[in-house]
Amino acid sequence: MGLKAPGIITFLLSIILAVVTLMVVFFGAEIPGIKGNELAFLLTSYGLLVLGCLVKWL
């Protein structure tokens, strides 16, 4: 199984999710659903990026 670059949509979605999560952690932004689940959202964003590198259609 070879690695490939993720699609632009997958990459941007992953980066946006990570940045929003870090804004909640470091700047105290009040975003419902993310507050209290920061680790899960950060792992989800990087998991999405890894899937984008492994799966051909992402």
The model scores a pTM over 0.85: no
Give the pLDDT confidence score for residue 22 in this predicted structure. 93
pLDDT in tens, 2-54: 889 999 999 999 999 999 999 999 999 898 988 889 999 999 999 999 999 99
Give the pLDDT confidence score for residue 56 in this predicted structure. 81
Give the pLDDT confidence score for residue 46 in this predicted structure. 95
Give the pLDDT confidence score for residue 57 in this predicted structure. 79
The residues, any chain, with a CB within 8 Å of residue 57's CB and separated by 6 or more, are none
Strand, helix or coil for residue 23: helix
